[in-house]
């Protein structure tokens, strides 16, 4: 009996060792105590991801310093998409955004739960954390080349951090489709202005921004957001995977108003039911950002336009189309 018990203990220990993933910062964070604390915390998280994937079980996030919002988002993602860290040792730079920090470029391999998954198998993970070191977001990263191209436009420290904050939100938005988080997507497409704090999106009532081009105002008030959310809800219910692709991302500073930005991207998603039936959608998303209060960045306007090959650049919204 003792021999069986010892064998079980040794086997459990071996599994724990084999699944251990280490994380370290290459730079970007000066506080030695915080650096060590966050490294241990991220290492715990990545190790748990690998152990859960190997055992084909749910994530156990007890003992990992994460916000409840981040835990809920990661668990929702895990319900639909399993993955594992490809490297046992990860070293990445610490990047500063407006409200905290993030690390990017952690290689992961997607492990499909069934054969309806049509997405990329090799992805990268981004982890965000607050100034106090608490993890407040875990998501799949945007394509690194597109991300770097958009960041190269930054001209000052504040401009770079604001761009990073915007792209963090775009990644979170994309992750909502993987998580099937319909409430978050519906909130983003509401008529209200939003305050963004980490991964928490808070509605603050109607925005007073107005489109100053009468022709564009007509185009963008015709969008049926209720129908879009209704259709998306049906797709989430009937399909395990939603393959979402963001392309043609443009990040535009307002030429006259400091701290105001527009981001425009083409969003295509598709999904395949078990019977082979396909669902898809294709359109442009526009977000108008306000960093007047850097601690509480706001999104005043969100618009969705169905893709049409006749659309031109002049038909699209940009920061200069709004009255303050």
What are the tens digits of pLDDT across the range 220-259?
443 456 777 787 888 888 887 788 888 888 888 888 888 8
Question: Taking residues 290-304, what's their average pLDDT?
Answer: 79
Torsional sign, CA 133, 139, 140, 146: negative
CA distance 120 to 94: 26
Place of tokens 């019977």: 275
Do residues 104 and 171 make contact, with C-beta atoms less than 8 angstroms apart?
Answer: no
pLDDT tier at 113, thresholds 50, 70, 90: confident
Between 152 and 176, residue with greater pLDDT: 176
Per DSSP, helices labelled H in 56-89 are 68-80
CATH architecture of 182-323: Roll (3.10)
Asked whether the CA dihedral 73, 77, 82, 86 is positive or negative, the reply is negative
Q: Which whole-number Å values give the CA distances from 52 to 83, 85, 139, in the listed order? A: 9, 11, 17
Per residue in 204-221, pLDDT (tens digit) is 555 555 555 544 444 444
Sheet holding 298-306, edge to edge: 200-206, 192-197, 298-306, 278-290, 260-272, 243-253
User: Facing residues of 266 across strands?
Assistant: 247, 284
User: Which residue ranges make up each domain of the chain?
Assistant: 17-141, 182-323
């Amino acid at each position: 009996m003792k021999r069986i018990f010892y064998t079980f203990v040794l086997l459990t220990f071996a599994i724990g060792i084999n699944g251990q993933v280490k994380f370290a910062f290459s730079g970007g964070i000066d506080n030695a105590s915080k650096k060590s604390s966050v490294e241990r915390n991220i290492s715990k998280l990545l190790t748990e991801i690998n152990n859960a994937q190997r055992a084909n079980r749910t994530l156990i996030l007890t003992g990992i310093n994460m916000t409840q919002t981040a835990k809920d988002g990661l668990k929702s993602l895990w319900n639909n998409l399993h993955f594992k860290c490809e490297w046992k040792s990860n070293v990445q730079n610490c990047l500063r955004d407006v409200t905290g920090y993030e690390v990017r470029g952690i290689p992961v391999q997607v492990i499909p739960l069934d054969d309806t998954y049509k997405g990329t198998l090799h992805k990268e993970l981004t982890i965000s954390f607050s100034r106090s070191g608490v993890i407040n977001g875990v998501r799949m990263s945007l394509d690194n080349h597109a991300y770097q191209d958009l960041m190269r436009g930054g001209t000052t420290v504040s401009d770079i951090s604001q761009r990073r904050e915007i792209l963090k939100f775009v990644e979170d938005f994309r992750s909502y489709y993987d998580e099937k988080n319909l409430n978050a997507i519906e909130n983003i497409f509401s008529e209200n202005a939003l305050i963004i704090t980490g991964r928490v999106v808070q509605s603050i009532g109607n925005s007073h921004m107005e489109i100053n081009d009468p022709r564009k105002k007509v185009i963008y008030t015709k969008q049926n957001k209720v129908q879009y959310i209704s259709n998306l809800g049906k797709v989430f219910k009937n399909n395990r995977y939603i393959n979402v692709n963001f392309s043609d991302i443009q990040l535009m500073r307002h030429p006259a108003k400091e701290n105001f930005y527009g981001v425009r991207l083409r969003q295509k998603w598709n999904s395949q039911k078990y019977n082979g039936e396909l669902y898809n959608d294709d359109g442009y998303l526009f977000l108008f950002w306000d960093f007047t209060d850097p601690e509480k960045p706001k999104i005043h306007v969100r618009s969705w336009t169905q893709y049409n090959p006749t659309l031109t650049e002049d038909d699209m919204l940009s920061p200069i189309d709004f009255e303050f």
